[in-house]
Amino acid sequence: MEYNNIIYETDDRLAFITLNRPEKLNPLSHALRGEVYDAMKEAEADKAIGVIVLKAAGRAFSAGYDLAPQPEESDYVSERSGMPDTGSTHPQHYDWSRHALMGHWTIWELAKPVICQIQGYCLAGGTELASMCDMRIVAEDARIGYPPVRAMGTMDMMWAPWFLPPAKAREFAYTGDWFSGEEMAQLGWANYAVPKDELDDFTERFARRLGHIDNDLLNYNKRSVNRQYEIMGMRTGLMSGTDVEAMSKHRPAAGEFGRHVREEGLKAALEWRDGPFGDFRGARKSAPKDRPLAGSEES
């Protein structure tokens, strides 16, 4: 296989899929996501592989979905939709979150466990990709958050109530504030948080330990856990979240972020969104620290 946005490698019982757009903090473009799903299916079909490790090149796992996508050549997106094939072309207005979720179910249903290795920023769509993996190992100083909920819309995939205690799930989904890798391990989202310089070695050792189990049993172990969450309503819950996300894009202030993008550019819009919170691009001196509320006449 030849990929433009990821690296696919195998070593004994392990397959490594590496997001490889480090210069932009590995934004999740259609082409990149399509290649990730294809590589996972390739590993699934390889009888020698027992465990898949999803990781990323550079200083961040992923800053989220690609908000400034560029035309990319890829054999792994649908000719009809230009997006990864999820069984639907998703033609409806504001059908994005439904499409993203349906793509991530590929990982959920994969016959082999996927371990996600996370360093640096893991934001918005990056948290969704990571959450659909079976396990997560993070650098202690990683920053996991969902800043789009501050001005754009609700979480595309409402995973927080399924993986975090109720009070923290609300904090995460309401504010978009980041939590450290160490905090996310304490809250139960990550299996382990380790020093950044130990992340590669620890993850590989953990994956090889898991690889001592035969593929059939790994498959049934994964399936048995998945089905319990599904009986509790996880599929329905996440899908209903995509409907609410679509509605959130129709609220009175929904167009504010897009207007700032059109008039001032994406970087300035991100500064406007995060300025009052003082983090991400809002930490920059040029970001407005005390701006009018989105949707007000002054904004």
In a domain? residue 241: no
In a domain? residue 59: yes
pLDDT at 1: 75
In a domain? residue 290: no
In a domain? residue 194: yes
Q: Closest Cα to residue 28, out of 59, 60, 75? A: 60
pLDDT in tens, 262-285: 999 999 999 999 999 999 999 999
CATH assignment of the domain containing 172: 3.90.226.10
The one-letter amino acid code at 156 reads D
In a domain? residue 71: yes
In a domain? residue 69: yes
**How many structural domains is the chain composed of?**
1
CA–CA distance, 279 with 150 (Å, rounded to integer): 12
Digitized pLDDT (tens) for each residue of the chain, 299 residues in all: 789 999 999 999 999 999 999 999 999 999 999 999 999 999 999 999 999 999 999 999 999 999 776 666 678 888 888 888 888 888 787 788 999 999 999 999 999 999 999 999 999 999 999 999 999 999 999 999 999 999 999 999 999 999 999 999 999 999 999 999 999 999 999 999 999 999 999 999 999 999 999 999 999 999 999 999 999 999 999 999 999 999 999 999 999 999 999 999 999 999 999 999 999 999 999 999 998 898 776 65
Q: Closest Cα to residue 136, out of 121, 115, 122? A: 115
pLDDT in tens, 36-61: 999 999 999 999 999 999 999 999 99
pTM of the predicted model, to two decimals? 0.95
pLDDT at 51: 98
**Which domain, by its residues, includes 83?**
6-218
The one-letter amino acid code at 26 reads N
pLDDT at 32: 94
| Cβ-contact 15, 45 below 8 angstroms | no
